[in-house]
Chain A
Amino acid sequence: MAKLQSVEELAHVSNAARNALAAQRGTSTTIYVGMGTCGIAAGARDTLRAITAELARLQIEADVEGVGCIGICVKEPLVDIQQAGQPRISYGNVTLEMATRIIEEHLVKGQPVTKWIVGRVPTHY
């Protein structure tokens, strides 16, 4: 990694990062799992493991990212599904069993499980 030599280079790297992220997100499924201490205390590590296991089992390629605490801790573990750059859809209180079901319903069948959904994350957030 070369050290940035100017403010212009920083702006360039920022643009590149933004574009790369947009291209990546625009063509794939990204799954965000709340991995702040609140999420972990609520069981997010198990939820994350269940998600990666199920994706492997179904041979689905999706990016799984750990993020921090989005604030609504009472709903942890939170799992957000973002597809093709659209707003993230947030599932709340996601247990191992729910995680497996969500992948099947939301990703494979294309049907979000509305009763477990907290809301969508606006793109301006």
Chain B
Amino acid sequence: MDRANMNDATTLVSEILVSGGAGNGLLEAFTGELTRRGLTDHVRVASASSRGFGASEPAVIAQPAGILYCRVAAADVAEIVEETVLNGRVIERLRYSEPEIHRALPFYDSLPFYSKQVRIALRNCGIIDPERIEAYFARDGYQGLGKALAMSADDVIGIMKDSGLRGRGGAGFSTGLKWEFARRSRAMPKYVICNADEGDPGAFMDRSILEGDPHSVIEGMAIAGYAIGASEGFIYCRAEYPLAIARLKSAMAQAREYGLLGENILNSGFTFDLALKEGAGAFVCGEEMALIASVEGRRGEPRPKPPFPAVAGLWQKPTVVNNVKSYGMTPQIILKGPEWFRAIGTRGSPGTAVFALTGKIKNTGLIEVPMGITLREIIFDIGGGIPKKKRFKAVQTGGPLGGCLPASALDTPVDFDSLTAAGATMGSGGMIVVDQDTCMVEFAKYFLTFATAESCGKCVPCRIGGQRLLEVLTRITEGVSSPADLDEIERISRNMREASLCALGQLTPGPVMSALRFFRQEYEAHIHDKFCPAGVCKGLFDYFILEDKCKGCGLCKKACPQDAISGERKGLHVIDLLKCIQCDACVEACNLDAVIAQPRSKGVHAIPVA
């Protein structure tokens, strides 16, 4: 009787582990019961270390069925052997029951940071171990590739076109259309390139995907290769991302082991493999033509388009260049279908966008939201607003080649077209928030300094225009500019926009032009009054403590490295301008916004009046 259904049951249970309580006599009890039933040849008993179930131990684990019993007593042993070992049934009362206290804890998707997010590109990030392909398999990994291989390449392209996916690198060109152009091009061989250069300061969307879910990119690239008829692909990853590079290499190797990269993938006849090419510290190599030049071993410089890479790209052959996020979303689009993707986001910008929230914001981090969500929702609902009770001043989108938007634009929906219409750009997804303590002249100058340093130098409008623009902005921040400088900014910007060879030069004036558009008074104050209202540009303001706000707490006095502040407890504190070096320590220390920047007074100062 005991052996009748034994074959069935023992495939479910061939091992009993007694964890964290061998001293309770459970080990002996099990051995005894199994001997009594004649099962010792088929089921082994062993003691195991505690598995961390603390209060719920001793625990019993039945493998390979994966059944866990808690608070097991010797009296339960007979029932366990009868029900679970012999008959494969679970004893409910012995199962692990989640403590009540757990249930009071909120789920992530009810937290403000997560409740508005829809995770497609980020679906596996933070959830799986990126170094184990099996974890990716368990979450439908490579099912998209499998599905694509079962349909025609034209059908795959049709799905991508119907989904409406627009390139997430920032240009927003239809991904499906780009693949179609490459497919229609006759020249062979063709190539698939992933732009993983991510040069924007403050952007780490692509890095997080490469580090957290590299297989999604590999799978997306394989699907693209199948669609256009390529058998080789390159991932161009900036060298400043060593962790991403390591994870990619490990993922590619594991994919090859399973035959998901290499010859005749899944016996479909499709051959595809990837190579990794590291960048060498040049922002311009995020521009696709400069990137291609770099892969070819040449200096990273763009060339005129047309012809576009889909027609003549890498080594003049048809090449598809897409961003990490675009490839990362591809497997899901194939698996779930284009209508699913279209149902998210807006008509003109279907799907989700991934943003890196940085700057003066409480919840810095990475988010993925449906297109069409407003800037206000992102910055205040998800981001938690501005820390230290400061006021929002502007948000920079699109990185150093994007633009800034003021408080009046907070209700702008985030999608490709709305952001452009508002005066900024979507870019790759970097979003930098600044507060009242940021000078919009200095802020634009920061991005301009970066962009001009990164100019490859090939074309005059960018190489020289950038330098001249930077000189103007520097003059303004030093208080030695004239009203004509505003016209100069407009003139140079127009030249760069219209005549630069690539998007780097064309969009370099973006930050300063948008700052001028929305914060013109601040520029005029610098020029006409030699005054920096935000209290940033050294020499263009005096610090002053407001009488009606100061409560005499003395924090500023303690913070000042120059002993420039005097005052009694509970009395008004005063800054001695003969000693003040404008280091900002008092501004940071004050919790009452009592230290303000005001136009310079006459007389001798530690920092000379301009």
Contacts and interface: CB of A to CB of B under 8 A. Distances in A.
A90 B266 CA distance: 38
Contacts of A50: none
Q: How large is the interface on A (under 10, 10 to 19, 20 to 34, 35 or more residues)?
A: 35 or more
Interface string A53-84: 00100111110011111111111001000011
Nearest to B131: A66
Contacts of B436: none
B185 interface: no
B213 to A, nearest CB: 6
Contacts of A71: 113-114, 117, 122, 125-126, 208, 365-368
Contacts, number: 216
A36 B208 contact: yes
Nearest to B99: A110
Contacts of A10: 137, 142-143, 146, 266
A111 B356 CA distance: 35
A44 to B, nearest CB: 12
Given A71-B366, A120-B106, A37 B67 contact: no
Interface string B117-157: 10100111111111100110110111100110110000000
Nearest to A117: B105
Interface in B204-236: 204, 207-208, 211-213
A73 B105 CA distance: 20
B52 A83 contact: yes
6 contacts: A9-B266, A17-B138, A27-B61, A109-B55, A110-B55, A118-B108
Contacts of A14: 137-138, 140-143
Contacts of B212: 36, 67-69
Interface stretch (B80-88, B167-175, B256-264, B498-506): B256-264
A7 B149 contact: yes
Contact of A110 (B53, B123, B127, B259): B53
Main secondary structure of the interface of A (DSSP, over half): mixed
A86 B117 CA distance: 22
A38 B358 CA distance: 12
Nearest to B17: A27
A109 B54 contact: yes
A23 B65 contact: yes
Contacts of B363: 72, 74
Contacts of A112: 99, 101-102, 105
Q: Which 8 A-B pairs have the closest CB atoms?
A: A68-B212, A70-B126, A3-B259, A23-B66, A110-B55, A29-B52, A107-B52, A73-B365
B129 A65 contact: yes
B138 A59 contact: no
Contact of B266 (A4, A66, A73, A74): A4
A21 B131 CA distance: 15
A82 B138 CA distance: 17
B48 interface: yes
A1 B366 contact: no
Contacts of A20: 134
A74 B364 contact: yes
A59 B50 contact: yes
A4 B259 contact: yes
A29 B113 contact: no
Contacts of A24: 66
A84 B363 CA distance: 31
Nearest to B368: A71
Given A68-B126, A86-B96, 6 more contacts: A36-B126, A36-B207, A38-B204, A61-B49, A67-B212, A84-B53
A23 B64 contact: yes
Contacts of A75: 365
A34 B126 contact: yes
B126 A69 contact: yes
Given A22-B66, A86-B102, A70 B266 contact: no
Given A69-B211, A74-B364, A27 B67 contact: yes
Contacts of A86: 96, 98, 102
Contacts of A6: 266-267
Interface string B231-246: 0000000000101000
B111 interface: yes
Contacts of B367: 71
Interface centre among B48, B50, B64, B108 (most CB of A within 10 A): B108
B31 interface: no
Contact of B101 (A60, A69, A111): A111
Given A4-B260, A59-B49, A114 B105 contact: yes
Contact of B51 (A5, A60, A73): A60
A60 B59 CA distance: 13
A69 B368 CA distance: 13
Contacts of A29: 51-53
B108 A125 contact: yes
B40 interface: no
A110 B296 CA distance: 58
Interface centre among A66, A83, A87, A112 (most CB of B within 10 A): A83
Contacts of B129: 65-67
Contact of A74 (B108, B124, B365): B365
B542 to A, nearest CB: 35
B570 to A, nearest CB: 35
Contacts of A120: 102, 105-108
Contacts of A67: 125-130, 212
A65 to B, nearest CB: 5
A37 B143 contact: no
B20 to A, nearest CB: 8
A17 B150 CA distance: 22
B419 to A, nearest CB: 22
Nearest to A1: B257
A40 B127 CA distance: 16
B376 interface: no
Interface string A84-125: 101101100000000000010011111110100111111001
Contacts of A40: 243
Contacts of A23: 63-66
Nearest to B243: A37
